[in-house]
Structure 1
Amino acid sequence: MSPQPPPATQVWPPLDPAGTAGSADSATVTLADLMPPPPGQSQDGGGRPADRGRRRRQGDPRGHWFLVAVGVVLMAGALLLNGYATSTVGETHAAPPPADRPSTELDDVRHGGPVLNLTGARPDSARLPARTVALTFDDGPDPRWTPQLLDVLAKHSAKATFFAVGARIAENPELVRRIVAEGHEIGNHTYAHADLAAVPDWRLRLELSLTQKALAGAAGVHTRLVRPPYSSSPAAVTGPQLRALRVMGGEGYIVALTDLDTKDWARPGVDQIVRAALPRRGRGAVIMMHDSGGDRGQTVAAVDRLLTRLAEQKYRATTLTSALGMPSAHAPAGDLERVAGTGLGLAQRGASGFVTVMSWVLAVAGGLTLLRLLFFLVLAWVHARRARGGKRRAGRAPAWPAPPAVSVIVPAYNEEAGIEATVRSLVNTGYPGALEVIVVDDGSSDGTAAIAASLDLPGVRVIRQENGGKPAALNTGIAHASHDILVMVDGDTVFEPDTIEHLVRPLADPAVGAVSGNTKVGNRRGMIGRWQHIEYVIGFNLDRRAFDLLGCMPTVPGAIGAFRRSALREIGGVSVDTLAEDTDLTMAMCRGGWRVVYEENALAWTEAPTSLGQLWRQRYRWCYGTLQAMWKHRRAIAEPGPFGRRCLGYLTLFQVVLPLLAPVVDVMAVYSVLVGDPLPVVAVWAGFVLVQAFSGWYALRLDRERASALWVLPLQQFVYRQLMYLVVIQSVATAVLGVRLRWQTIRREGTFAG
């Protein structure tokens, strides 16, 4: 039995008794997480709620954009922190030595020892005593090489000084604690290995301060030792470097340069490293090596051999401060510094983990997107060959012996701009069978009903009812329809002359419960119209070919669809549970065991939104309604048949999850372009555009459309794409917060009028 129409209806012309239908109960589902619109709220183009006093928690959530903004800021902060820690952001390099002006102070430093005290008016320096070496290791700690060096030092009962980079300290706090626990000391080597001679004083102080905080959080200590990156022996100090050394001295640091630079970072060979590290004639020396920054296997082997040679020569290998007879470089850090350092370490490790995870997620998402596109192209090719080759699937019934009688239902709310063109296209369709057109005016406040009634066309009836929403209007039309084959058409849609004939042809198969037509954008002259035209051809119609073959059609569009009355009766008519009544209805059909197919030759021209605001409101409603329908039919995943696993899984992944990740793609792309080499980003973007262009060309060819429309495809990536994923974000936020969404008003321009 078909659903009864609402009681307050006026029919023109009046129905005879044979034209009425019986009654049936309609299923109602309450969605706790995805609040449906109240039954009295208008369902087409933003009508007025039937009972304004019953509106509760309707409208858009206001706080979620703040949460999105916070998320973007946190994401950007994670990228910047990780970029800063890895020297991608704010990267500095050692500048070539400038021509220095003569300076007494500079001469004192160049001719002094490797350990400098610049806290006073004149530089003071010190050298290590005879038969004493201070092994120093820069750029660590490294989780691979530093433990090996520690093992070698322990083997020889030697101590060393590690000039650690703050970012590496934050990444490897356990390793820092091991260094301190085994009696070695740690010096400050800046946070991001910055060339301190090339940065302003505030950046220099920030580098030192952050490293101290990281050290406090990892090991609970501060250090008084510092070694500037890109430094060497005192003789190589330049004027700009002296300025930086003065600032470090003013911060209370003892500056450690080197006597012997082994240049082990160049991996010259173990023997060469050992020769460069051996002091001459029993002198003491500060020896510079590295425990990070690349393969340090030669360094590990060289240290083992060096310590053996030094022991044979009666050398003592100890920490820098111990070698000079100074107090330990370490001092306990305060509680506040420890907390701040712990937070810094957690933030940096979190940022690093986030970037790593996002890199993998983006790679997987990109791969899935490409595979999905190629897979759907293959399915579309197969579908087109079968459809145009006249091949029938096994078990499909032959064509209708005679054209079936058809009832066309047009729900309309404030459609005066286009209702005449819609009705005339239906009457003039040239369908050879019996045809009636039922216009259901759902409480319009304009002249929609009067215009439709004044046309005085054969087979056209106009039904007026109080505003009850699009599902109620459709159910009214179903109840008053005289025939068993029903075509549902939006009030802004125009049919081709042969559309109805093509649309009802697949219903000759008794297993088919619904048929989706081929929707096309009629107003495609502007940029927004062209973007939607491409989206309809590629994103909608191409997908429907694939869904047809997979047996999991998610949506028969409200603009054009044919239904079997018995199938509608079986599922209880058009539900009012969601804002996407067409998706809800189609999913119910699939779950009921009915086949839903796609007919490419059944063409319908619809009026698309002409402004970004109108487009936003339309897609917001569509997306939110689709989420409601997915939630309502979520149990289909556990049911037999392909619909639940294929359709709901696909929609969840490609219509919800991946769009939610789209802002990450854009932020990381912009970040990569600004701070790194832009060529890889541009190359990946161009590759995706080329693949999309190929799929668009093929989709347009299948739909017999001109490929010249593809020129707007690259531009679509900069406005339209962002609009679409922001719609998904707002829809998901609306659903999670349990806010009821009002129907959004879409202004009709009357594209097909006249």
Structure 2
Amino acid sequence: MASRSSRRSTGHAAVRRRRLPLRQLLPLTLLFAMLGMLMLRGYVHSEILADFRVRPEAATDKVPEKILDGGPVIDTRGGKATSLRVPDHRVVLTFDDGPDPKWTPRVLDILKKHHAHAVFFVTGTMASRYPDLVKRMIAEGHEVGLHTFNHPDLSYQSKARIDWELSQNQLALAGAAGIRSSLFRPPYSSSADAMDDRSWPVTEYVGSRGYLTVVNDTDSEDWRRPGVDTIVRNATPHGGKGAIVLMHDSGGDRHQTVRALDRLIPELRAEGYAFTNLTEALDAPNADTPVVGADLWKGKAWIFLVRASDDLTGVLVVGLAVIGVLVFARFGLMLLLSALHARRTRRRGFRWGPRPVTEPASVLVPAYNEAKCIENTVRSLMRSEHPIEILVIDDGSSDGTARIVEELELPNVRVIRQVNAGKPAALNRGLANARHELIVMMDGDTVFEPATVRELVQPFADSRVGAVAGNAKVGNKDTLIGAWQHIEYVMGFNLDRRMYDVLQCMPTIPGAVGAFRRSALERVGGMSDDTLAEDTDITMAIHRDGWRVVYAEKARAWTEAPESVQQLWSQRYRWSYGTMQAIWKHRRALFERGPSGRFGRVGLPLVSLFMVLAPLLAPLIDMFLVYGLLFGPTQKTIVAWFGVLAVQVVCATYAFALDRERLTPLISLPLQQILYRQLMYVVLLQSWITALTGGRLRWQKLRRKGGVSAPPNEPVPGQRVMDGRPVA
């Protein structure tokens, strides 16, 4: 966790502040763009706006007799109703529902082999997804007709929906092959004598839009998969009459159709039949005409977006698999390694070294405009059970922070004033004035328990330890946002620290409660302002210098968490961006030897995976949740989401038990996953955008209320109690 200090805003910072809202909007824009692409993919795959209802047959009172008794080509253009038949010894093979990536190429191969033409009534969804097949149909001399976009029964639909189905179908054809078609076949249609009072108004309306409606008079019934012989028999015209034969090149297994087609064409050719397009058979102009200008470019743009949505969905699915592995791997590691950590540090007789650490420590309290909090902070330190000196470094405060401390006139408390220069400079100033080898650092809004400093410095009994992370807790957890952060601190940060301690790659000493050896700090050059997460930066530097960094769970500190969404956004934005900066700064550790290389090849990958990549990909879980609830297998989606939630509940319950926290706040965990987590996603995405665009972020000051105080001393697991107080 990065610290909470600030710098004064310069003129350039003011410019950046005006730009910040736009930078905050960009992550939201990207998320909505991804959701939009998912919606497009769902629409093209008939998962959105699809209507699979099919009306039963109805009366035929309104259908003209000449249509019922006429041919399979129905022309209602110009307000007149006529029908046409195919001339004798002409066969028009028609294929519905494609193009299909597996079966359409095989059908085209058979037609090409026998030099036969056909009409393909394509749906817009399939033409959008497989435009190259539509292009091949046109190139090989076949005609293409419309079969609507989503394949609904149009007798259920409004005129607006019918227009939409036709225009979208045309858009797909324009993008796929640069054509538009005047041929139309209604979904679920049959022969002309099956026209009824529900389908006839649709036919009339479609005709008014300039289309010829093409049904069939010879149904192969290949969709039933009755066998090759039956398909050939059903598709064969009788007595030399012409026929429009209905077949399918999509919608399931079509291997029988392909085999039957390979037999049907030569057999009928031997009987004198010719296989032509519909317009060839009717001696009419080709139904497919070129599209130019804006309509052509709209079609190309549509195909591009459809392909992009499919590609993006593929990437997102891979990302979802990756995040699934990362989430469960992290949970598994946290549960296993935190249990090992607790077992090791809580066993009877556990000591960090041969003897307890009793030497005094210097406590550095950098403060910038902490007037509301600083007195509570200093007074909590005065109750320390360990000998300390307190240095309050006032970093150019304008609210009288330094004066408040001076007026307390407390022993062993010194105030150091400096011109505002930022927290790293304040800590380095304090380090230069500290009298002791052991250095404790805390924030100006944090409150220590009496035993905190004593517990924090005990690991220094081990000469290999260079830094110690304490147990930061949320003091203002009585609000909903506070409760959510409380869950995050206990479940995420502290379980993580136990895990990283066992793996010897602790990434961050929290600014709210941490301790260092002066010699370790001096060897790595002290605190740096190269990043916005100076505590992560210094922790990684100490690892690379060969020191151990450990976690002291009993060293508890209570900090004031942000109480508004804007403050939380600002804080987490800085944390996320600062962590990325620190990882980038120490990237050379990946290729070095010794302690630096060990941290680089273990710590940096783990931090990158669990603190940067996993949170960045985690929104995919919620995106697919929303998508699944609205358009997918709702029941499976809900089960999967509750499965993930159950794992989180187990981890959270275990973390709360380890920290001896009440489980009551976990009631809000499901809501935290739905609302709070989304904010963290957007913040991290904004950090990525800032990093990739080379932006910089000024220090930000959070508004404090000063209402945090340490609770009464409570024993933690492994502590003995004497006279009602926990002792070491």
Q: Residue 78 of structure 1: which of 18, 37, 44 is its match?
A: 37
For the residues of structure 2 that align with 1:159 and 1:53, how far apart are their CA atoms? 73
Match of residue 631 from structure 2: 675
For the residues of structure 1 that align with 2:291 and 2:708, how far apart are their CA atoms? 77
Match of residue 309 from structure 2: 351
Q: Residue 193 of structure 2: which of 223, 235, 260 is its match?
A: 235
Seq. identity, %: 50
Q: Residue 514 of structure 1: which of 467, 473, 478 is its match?
A: 467
Deviation at 1:728, TM superposition (A): 1.4
Match of residue 650 from structure 2: 694
Query: Are 1:171 and 2:135 counterparts?
Result: no
Quick one: which amino acid aligns to residue 411 of structure 1? P
| 1:258-292 residue CA offsets vs partner (Å, 9 max, x unmatched) | 11223322323323322322223333221111001
Alignment of 1:267-416 (within 5 A): 267-389=225-347, 398-400=353-355, 403-416=358-371
For the residues of structure 2 that align with 1:549 and 1:44, how far apart are their CA atoms? 28
Deviation at 1:47, TM superposition (A): 5.2
For the residues of structure 2 that align with 1:69 and 1:558, how far apart are their CA atoms? 30
Match of residue 661 from structure 2: 705
Query: Are 1:93 and 2:52 counterparts?
Result: yes
Alignment of 1:151-230 (within 5 A): 151-230=109-188
Query: Are 1:625 and 2:578 counterparts?
Result: yes
CA distance 1:45–1:160, change in 2 (3 Å)? same
- 2:27 and 2:682 in contact (8 A); partners too: no
CA distance 1:475–1:457, change in 2 (3 Å)? same
Calculate the TM-score normalised by the size of structure 2: 0.91
For the residues of structure 1 that align with 2:89 and 2:343, how far apart are their CA atoms? 87
Q: Residue 696 of structure 2: which of 701, 721, 740 is its match?
A: 740
- 2:558 and 2:709 in contact (8 A); partners too: no
For residue 705 of structure 2, give the secondary structure of its aligned residue in structure 1: coil
For the residues of structure 1 that align with 2:709 and 2:471, how far apart are their CA atoms? 21
Match of residue 725 from structure 2: none
Structure 1: which 5+ runs fail to align? 1-36, 38-42
CA distance 1:279–1:610, change in 2 (3 Å)? same
For the residues of structure 2 that align with 1:424 and 1:694, how far apart are their CA atoms? 38
Query: Are 1:603 and 2:563 counterparts?
Result: no
For the residues of structure 2 that align with 1:298 and 1:693, how far apart are their CA atoms? 52
Query: Could you say which structure has the greater relative contact order, defined with CA pairs below 8 angstroms and 6 or more residues apart?
Result: 1
Quick one: which amino acid aligns to residue 78 of structure 1? M
- 2:364 and 2:392 in contact (8 A); partners too: yes
- 2:357 and 2:457 in contact (8 A); partners too: no
Deviation at 1:663, TM superposition (A): 4.5
CA distance 1:467–1:340, change in 2 (3 Å)? closer
Aligned residues: 705
For the residues of structure 2 that align with 1:584 and 1:62, how far apart are their CA atoms? 28
For the residues of structure 1 that align with 2:444 and 2:339, how far apart are their CA atoms? 32
| 1:690-734 residue CA offsets vs partner (Å, 9 max, x unmatched) | 110000011111112122321110010122111111221222333
Quick one: which amino acid aligns to residue 360 of structure 2? A
For the residues of structure 1 that align with 2:539 and 2:78, how far apart are their CA atoms? 83
Alignment of 1:452-467 (within 5 A): 452-467=405-420
- 1:399 and 1:505 in contact (8 A); partners too: no
- 2:326 and 2:614 in contact (8 A); partners too: no
Match of residue 492 from structure 2: 539
Match of residue 378 from structure 2: 423
Deviation at 1:298, TM superposition (A): 1.4
CA distance 1:177–1:705, change in 2 (3 Å)? same
Structure 2: which 5+ runs fail to align? 711-728
Query: Are 1:478 and 2:437 counterparts?
Result: no
Deviation at 1:491, TM superposition (A): 1.8
- 1:494 and 1:605 in contact (8 A); partners too: yes
- 1:321 and 1:328 in contact (8 A); partners too: yes
| 1:209-268 residue CA offsets vs partner (Å, 9 max, x unmatched) | 333333333333332221111111112222232222122212222211011223322323
Quick one: which amino acid aligns to residue 80 of structure 2? R
Match of residue 254 from structure 1: 212
| 1:39-68 residue CA offsets vs partner (Å, 9 max, x unmatched) | xxxx8544535xx46757543534334544
For the residues of structure 1 that align with 2:694 and 2:54, how far apart are their CA atoms? 58
Deviation at 1:113, TM superposition (A): 0.8
Deviation at 1:440, TM superposition (A): 1.8
For residue 719 of structure 1, give the secondary structure of its aligned residue in structure 2: helix
Match of residue 718 from structure 2: none
Match of residue 675 from structure 2: 719
Quick one: which amino acid aligns to residue 210 of structure 1? Q
For the residues of structure 2 that align with 1:483 and 1:648, how far apart are their CA atoms? 32
For the residues of structure 2 that align with 1:519 and 1:528, how far apart are their CA atoms? 17
Deviation at 1:598, TM superposition (A): 0.7
- 1:557 and 1:582 in contact (8 A); partners too: yes
CA distance 1:328–1:519, change in 2 (3 Å)? same
Deviation at 1:686, TM superposition (A): 0.9
Query: Are 1:573 and 2:526 counterparts?
Result: yes
For the residues of structure 2 that align with 1:529 and 1:504, how far apart are their CA atoms? 29
Quick one: which amino acid aligns to residue 185 of structure 1? E
CA distance 1:677–1:116, change in 2 (3 Å)? same
Calculate the TM-score normalised by the size of structure 1: 0.88
Query: Are 1:445 and 2:398 counterparts?
Result: yes
CA distance 1:172–1:621, change in 2 (3 Å)? closer
Quick one: which amino acid aligns to residue 521 of structure 1? V
- 2:441 and 2:513 in contact (8 A); partners too: yes
CA distance 1:651–1:248, change in 2 (3 Å)? same
Query: Are 1:48 and 2:1 counterparts?
Result: no
